[in-house]
Every structure is written in C-alpha cells, then in structure tokens.
Structure 1
Amino acid sequence: MARLPRLTVPDYPHHVIQRGNNRQPVVVDDEDRETLLGLMAESAARHKVAIHAWVLMDNHFHLLATPTTDRGLPQMMQALGRRYVQLFNRRHQRTGTLWEGRYRATLVQTDRYLLACMAYIDLNPVRAGMVQRPADYRWSSHRHYIGQTQDRLVTPHPLCWGLGNTPFAREAAYADLVQQGIAVDQQRALTDATLKGWALGDGDFLGELETKAGRRTARARPGRPISRKSADPQR
C-alpha cells in the first residue's frame, strides 16, 4: 500500500521528531548544537514557520511548530536537514546520511494538547536521566518560558498568553505546569501519534482537519469504520 503524504495543515501546531540514523548522535558538542539551532532559526524565518518549543537531545530533536503555508514545514525541515548534514559531515570528517529517513510529525489540537506537548518536550531530558529538572538542561526552550533566558528561536503560541496577566505570572504558571508533568496516557498518545503521522485531538478537531486536508487524519480500525469520538485517546 502506498504511503500517505505527510499531513501538514497551515496555522495548526505540529509536533515534530527528527532522529539520527540507527540512533547515532546528531550533535557531538555545543558547537554542533549552536550550529543546528542557528540553521533552525534561519530556515524557520525563511519558510514562515513559528517554533513554539524545542529540545535538542544527543540523537534526536523535538519541535512544536506552526507553519503559515502548506509547504512551510516540509521546506523548513528539508533545508535544515540538508544544510546541517553538510556542515556536520565536513566538521567531523565523515560522509553519508545522518538522519533516520524523513522527519515524523503530527498535528495537535491546540486547546487540548498544545501545553501538554510543550511539557512533554521540556521533560525529555528528565525522562532520559540527563538532568533532574528541565531548568537544568540548557538545550531546550524551557528556560525561555520560565524567564531565565531570551530565546530568539521561540515564538510563543497565543495560548501561552492565557497563562497569566503578567510575564512573571505566565512564567510561574508555566513552571508549575511542567513540574506537574503530563499523564502517562497523554505522553503515550503524543509519542504514538507523532511516530505514526496521525493527527491528535477529539472528533470535531479531526473532522475539521479532514475537511481542510481532504484526507483521513486518523487510522481506521480494522473491521469497522472508526468513529470520530473514539479517535481521541483522551475519550
């Protein structure tokens, strides 16, 4: 069966994962990390993609991003991937591929999953045992949202402004949100949907996306049609 094109819809947040081939490191040191982030900022600006959250791990990275065009996110990721591999290979005197095929992505329902996805991204280094707290990890957008740094790569999603009436209130509310963590079922849903490329949200959200994208947005269950109400793991 032919693989469906990757689902990308303008003006909706997308959770993106790009992994290293065979789980090999995609960054070796801080110079690599700075290079990758710099290229990410350039490519996002060029292709009109707002990056709301990010984390660089040793062998993969996560983004939460909203494109303004239907080609913006794929073009950004293609340009970023190609240019970074060229620089990485030249610097480390290597050849060949770096990435595990094409990136993985899913659309997430804003009011239901956006903040959970941000916390999920921030908590990656904690789950990996690299740090005890997200604030202890330099290579993510978490410290921007709690007021410890100013990150030129980050464009806060409008939903974040609702966390408080002042910058201090928003920073405190976000820090508390991440400290509380996310439910296991939300974590599983975010991972599964992103790796499989299906949208994540309730039935109304999936129906809206299907109308705009002109294609299925969730995997059909074998043997009978899937109801839109049952497509959301939270129901």
Structure 2
Amino acid sequence: MSNYRRLFVPGATYFFTQVTYKRNPWLCTEIGREGLRTGFQRLQKIYPFSLDAIALLPDHFHCIWTLPEGDKNYPMRWRYLKSFVTRSCSHKLKLSTEVTLSRHKRKESNLWQRRYWEHLIKDEEDFENCCDYIDYNPVKHGLCESPKYWKFSSFHRLVKQGVYSVDWGVNELIKFSGYFGKMSNFENCESDQ
C-alpha cells in the first residue's frame, strides 16, 4: 500500500484533480453536472471555501479551492462531496461498471477513483499556471477548439472578471511550466489497482 503524504496548510489554496472510476464518462451528463453542482453548493454552506476555478470533463475534473483562514481540512470536504454525489447520482446513472470486492468491503461505489490529486499552490504565478491548466484542459483533451467553447468551466466567469480575454487559447498552444508533466501521468493512472 502506498503511503500518501499530503500538505495541510491552514487557509491555503489548493489545486485538485478528481477522476471517475475506470474513467467512466458520466460527469458531463445532466445527472452528473447537477449532482456535482448541488454537492458543491451544499458543501460550501456547511464547510465554506472559495471555488476559484473549475473545469468539468467527462471523466475527471480539475479545481482550485481556497480554504478559510485557520482551516486545513480539505479531505473532509472531499469525503462529503464524493459521498453526496454518490448518494444522489449512482442510482440514476445506472453505470455498467461493477464494484470490485475491495470497493464492496469499503462500501465504495463505482463513481469515483478512490484518491484525488492535490497540489498546494505556492504563489500568484503558481495560481495563474493552475488556472491556465484548468481552463485549457478541455482543449488539451480534444473536447473543443478553444476554452470559450467549453461550457462546463469557470472560464466564462473569469472572462467576465477580466482575468482572460474571450479569445484566450484560440489558435495557440498554451504551455505550462512546473509540475504539470507529472500530472498527466496521474490522470492516466488507475489508483484502484
């Protein structure tokens, strides 16, 4: 069993990636989107945090959260969110993927990979890199030609706030510095093996 080490910094900003179980593409369905939207709304009321950026793709999503001052408990938030979405969506989605014996023993469903990837954002440049990665991710995966054409993203809100121009990422290859090369390895892994 791997020994995962996570950084817990009160009031910090984190980049996360959560992948569906066996990369099942249910997140962009109406049921998946509504379940996740409602889950985030309830989660933010019970355990406040700022959802700074998000991109929802069929089989995974990336997001940036900023926790309240003095609060470092993002694992509890992830447990709540994944549990809520599982309870509200699993019976409606009717996924064909069977639950393994290991998952059955842990009372886990067939919606999510067990673990998520997290990165503590260090500074403003790191934050901007993470936002760029999130908003360009649908283009990277061939789901659209430009971030402005992907409707399941915070890109449109960030355009309204003046963070991006509406044509950002159009006809240009966006390069990312830092740890994102390692992230692509994570996105292709199956953490339940």
Bucket of the pairwise TM-score, normalised by the shorter protein: 0.7 to 0.9
Structure 2: tracts of 5 or more residues without a match: 100-108, 187-193
Q: Which amino acid aligns with 1:105?
A: E
Shift of 1:184: 4.2
In structure 2, what is the equivalent of residue 151 of structure 1?
A: none
Structure 1: tracts of 5 or more residues without a match: 148-166, 197-235
Post-superposition Cα deviations, 1:71-119, rounded to whole Å, max 9, x if no partner, equal 1x21111101011012221112457321111211010112221011101
Residue 183 of structure 1: which of 175, 186, 189 is its match? 175
Shift of 1:195: 7.2
Shift of 1:35: 2.1
Q: Which amino acid aligns with 2:63?
A: L
Change over 3 Å in CA distance of 1:54–1:185 after alignment to 2: same
Counterpart Cα distance in 2 of 1:51 and 1:79 = 15
Q: Which amino acid aligns with 1:103?
A: Y
Residue 131 of structure 1: which of 123, 139, 144 is its match? 144
Change over 3 Å in CA distance of 1:122–1:104 after alignment to 2: same
Change over 3 Å in CA distance of 1:98–1:2 after alignment to 2: closer
Counterpart Cα distance in 1 of 2:16 and 2:129 = 14
In structure 2, what is the equivalent of residue 24 of structure 1?
A: 24
Counterpart Cα distance in 2 of 1:129 and 1:105 = 24
| TM-score, normalised via structure 2 length | 0.77
Q: Which amino acid aligns with 1:115?
A: E
Shift of 1:135: 1.1
* Contact 2:129–2:177 (8 Å) recurs in 1: no
Counterpart Cα distance in 1 of 2:121 and 2:173 = 18
After TM superposition, list the pairs within 5 Å mapping 1:87-126 onto structure 2: 87-93=88-94, 96-126=109-139
Percent identity between matched residues is 22
Shift of 1:3: 1.2
Q: Which amino acid aligns with 1:52?
A: D
Post-superposition Cα deviations, 1:128-155, rounded to whole Å, max 9, x if no partner, equal 11111111111000000112xxxxxxxx
After TM superposition, list the pairs within 5 Å mapping 1:188-199 onto structure 2: 189-190=179-180, 192=182
Aligned to 1:14, what secondary structure does the other structure show? strand
Instruction: Give the number of the structure whose residues are more often helix, by fraction.
Output: 1
Counterpart Cα distance in 1 of 2:177 and 2:128 = 15
Change over 3 Å in CA distance of 1:10–1:182 after alignment to 2: farther
RMSD over aligned Cα, in angstroms? Answer: 2.5
Counterpart Cα distance in 2 of 1:177 and 1:79 = 36
Q: Which amino acid aligns with 2:44?
A: A
| TM-score, normalised via structure 1 length | 0.64
Counterpart Cα distance in 2 of 1:14 and 1:195 = 19
Q: Which amino acid aligns with 1:183?
A: K
How many matched pairs?
Answer: 170
